[in-house]
Amino acid sequence: MLEFLSTNLLWWHWIAFGLILLTLEMFSGTFLMLGLGTSAIIVGVIEVLFPMTLEMQLTIWLILSVLAIALWFKYMRDNRVEQTGQSNYTLETKGTVTKTIEPNSRGEVKFDLPVLGNTTWIATSKEELPINTRVKIIEVKGQLIEVASL
Tell me which amino acid residue 82 is.
E
pTM: 0.52
Q: Which pLDDT belongs to residue 78?
A: 60
Check whether residue 45 and residue 99 sit in a common domain: no
Beta bridge pairs of residue 139: 146
Q: Hey, is 71 helix, strand or coil?
A: helix
Residue in 58, 116, 60 with CA at minimum distance from that of residue 86 = 116
Q: Which pLDDT belongs to residue 104?
A: 85
Round to whole Å and give the CA distance between 25 and 87.
Answer: 36
Give residue 142's domain range: 94-149
Last residue of one domain, picked from the residues 50, 76, 102: 76
Q: Which pLDDT belongs to residue 123?
A: 92
Q: Which pLDDT belongs to residue 89?
A: 61
Round to whole Å and give the CA distance between 1 and 29.
Answer: 33
Check whether residue 18 and residue 59 sit in a common domain: yes
Round to whole Å and give the CA distance between 124 and 111.
Answer: 14
Round to whole Å and give the CA distance between 109 and 101.
Answer: 9
Check whether residue 131 and residue 104 sit in a common domain: yes
Q: Which residues of the chain have pLDDT under 50?
A: 83-86
Structural domain contains residue 141? yes
Residue in 113, 146, 107 with CA at minimum distance from that of residue 130 = 107
Structural domain contains residue 89? no
Long-range interactions of 61-66: CB distance < 8 A, separation 24+: 61/14, 64/35, 64/38, 64/39, 65/35, 65/36, 65/39
Check whether residue 46 and residue 11 sit in a common domain: yes
Round to whole Å and give the CA distance between 7 and 36.
Answer: 23
Structural domain contains residue 21? yes
